A and B are shown apart, each in its own frame.
Chain A
Amino acid sequence: MAAKTIISRPIYGTLSPQPGKHHLFIADAEGALAITDMAGKAPSGFFDGAEIVFIPGPEGKHIAGLEALKPAQLHIAPSFASLLPRLRQTLTNARMGLRLYLAGTEGLIGQAMQVALEAGIDHTSMQTEHRGSLARRMQCVHCKGITENVTTQPALCSHCGLLLLVRDHYSRRLAAFQGVCINAEDRSEIPPMEEIFR
């Protein structure tokens, strides 16, 4: 769980069952464990009206645990990009009473939240729980390119090659932390690169 530094830095909670008519879960990797942990607190029959969309990631674990919850639908996706059309379609057709639960890495929570905000769900109405990697999705403020899975400070922009300070300044609209050139005055000055977002 990341410490709160500046006001835009997202903080995450613990998933808890909400009143509602439909429950949509989006999770990646260890985010599955947040769902199975929450299941212990859920009223019986809760998952009868639930849909779980899960990205197992490279390790491919936790699918059996989600299957055991017997949700109305369990959809396994190889990546966030691959589930995006389905998610958009679900939210477009949804009615009030749908509750959204996001669990897993910050990148997954942020990108799913971005789509849900566009669909009209307030960010405070979503349940979130951070599990797994602290790797960041970063936007270079200079070229606007997004670099995924940033684990170092500073980090290299994968688009324009500038060396960037990864700030805690976060944009919900872009679902990304802001990266600002760390050596704009003197490009020959190269601070040591440390792996800090694991």
Chain B
Amino acid sequence: MSTGTTKLDVVVSDVVPVNELVTRFHFRRRDGGLLPTFSGGAHVVVEMRDGDRTRLNPYSLMGSPLDTREYTISIRRDDAGRGGSLFMHRQVKPGLEMVISYPVNLFSLDLRAKKHLMLAGGIGITPFMAQTSQLAGTGGNFELHYTCRTASLGTYADVLQQRYGNRVRLYHDDREERIDLDRLLSSQPLGTHLYVCGPAGMINWVRDRAASLGWPPETVHFEHFAAPQPGAPFDVELAVSGKTIQVGEQQSLLEAMEAAGVDPPYLCRGGVCGQCETNVISYEGKFIHNDHWLSDEDHKSGCKIMPCVSRFEGKSLILER
């Protein structure tokens, strides 16, 4: 396959339930060696071989970048999703041999910052686990604001408070605790960078308020892996490879191309990295864009699609692949 998809042969060394929804998975190299170095915010793409179906999902590495004996990821069970998280929760046991990608970082710290202000929502805490470990190791200045539904679903909130004390502030939805966002953003020293990871609504809210309050775009970093949404099956003609394929209800366009032996480059499979951007040659119908990569103009133009997360409804679609 293509860019960034160099593979690592690993074995599951531990599976640890964290709370009623989240489970942590530990991976070590099968040959016992050290894993590649990564930086806080990096993710790996995990290959899930589930019968005749292979899913490839991105997950943030949450261990300390200072320790590469193992990689750890935490996965929230999504009962209504396409089945990747359920497969991990139900099928993956210690000793299972799996394949993961090399780490890729699309959410890295800007180490020129005077201060790092981090906002996490729910399972969006995972990249910050690695970033705070990295910064703590070098005496970096950070502050983490973490919103969770309830204390028992505040994944790693206890660990973080133990490690970093009052540098971590928790907000519980069930106790009506809310971030006073405008006040928080307006009281940060010059040279602060902002990082946000969580549900799409939270990311949009934070980016919007930051822009209004005069935070330059270079100082606002965010990551949200959109999971591919299921939808009505549709047919696609791939002009370069001369194939016509059908994208199934539970399948992404990228997965359907791969199943037909066409391998577009990818890094994140979540609408963030831009690698799989594909030109549209012609279409009759409408696009269902779900990515964070293309601009609004690109979305309206009908000239481009991100096959990892976006779909199509209509009579015909011809892509340059």
7 A-B pairs (CB sep. < 8 Å) = A95-B187, A96-B190, A97-B186, A120-B190, A120-B191, A124-B218, A125-B216
Measured CB to CB, the closest approach of chain B to A92, in angstroms, equals 8
Q: A95-B190, A96-B190 are in contact. Are A122 and B211 (CB under 8 A)?
A: no
Q: Which residues of A contact B187 (CB under 8 A)?
A: 95
Measured CB to CB, the closest approach of chain A to B112, in angstroms, equals 7
**From residue 80 to 132 of chain A, which have CB atoms closer than 8 A to chain B?**
91, 94-99, 119-122, 124-125
Q: Which residues of A contact B112 (CB under 8 A)?
A: 120, 122
Majority SS of interface residues in chain B? loop
B114 touches A120 (CB 8 A): yes
Please count the residue pairs between chain A and chain B whose beta carbons lie under 8 angstroms apart in the complex. Answer: 59
B191 touches A19 (CB 8 A): no
A95 touches B219 (CB 8 A): no
> What residue in chain A is nearest B213 (Cβ atoms)?
A97
**From residue 2 to 59 of chain A, which have CB atoms closer than 8 A to chain B?**
18-22
Majority SS of interface residues in chain A? loop
B218 touches A122 (CB 8 A): yes
- Report which A residues bind B (CB closer than 8 A): 18-22, 91, 94-99, 119-122, 124-125
Q: Which residues of A contact B191 (CB under 8 A)?
A: 119-121
Q: How large is the interface on B (under 10, 10 to 19, 20 to 34, 35 or more residues)?
A: 10 to 19
Other CB < 8 Å A-B pairs besides A119-B190, A119-B191, 16 of them?
A18-B214, A18-B216, A19-B211, A19-B213, A20-B213, A21-B186, A95-B186, A95-B188, A96-B188, A96-B189, A96-B190, A96-B219, A99-B214, A120-B190, A120-B191, A125-B219
Question: For the complex, what is the distance from the CA of A45 to the CA of B211, rounded to whole Å?
Answer: 19
Question: For the complex, what is the distance from the CA of A99 to the CA of B213, rounded to whole Å?
Answer: 10
Question: For the complex, what is the distance from the CA of A119 to the CA of B219, rounded to whole Å?
Answer: 14
**From residue 272 to 301 of chain B, which have CB atoms closer than 8 A to chain A?**
none
**From residue 73 to 130 of chain B, which have CB atoms closer than 8 A to chain A?**
112-114
Q: Which residues of B contact A22 (CB under 8 A)?
A: 214
Interface residue B131 (Cβ < 8 Å from any Cβ of A): no
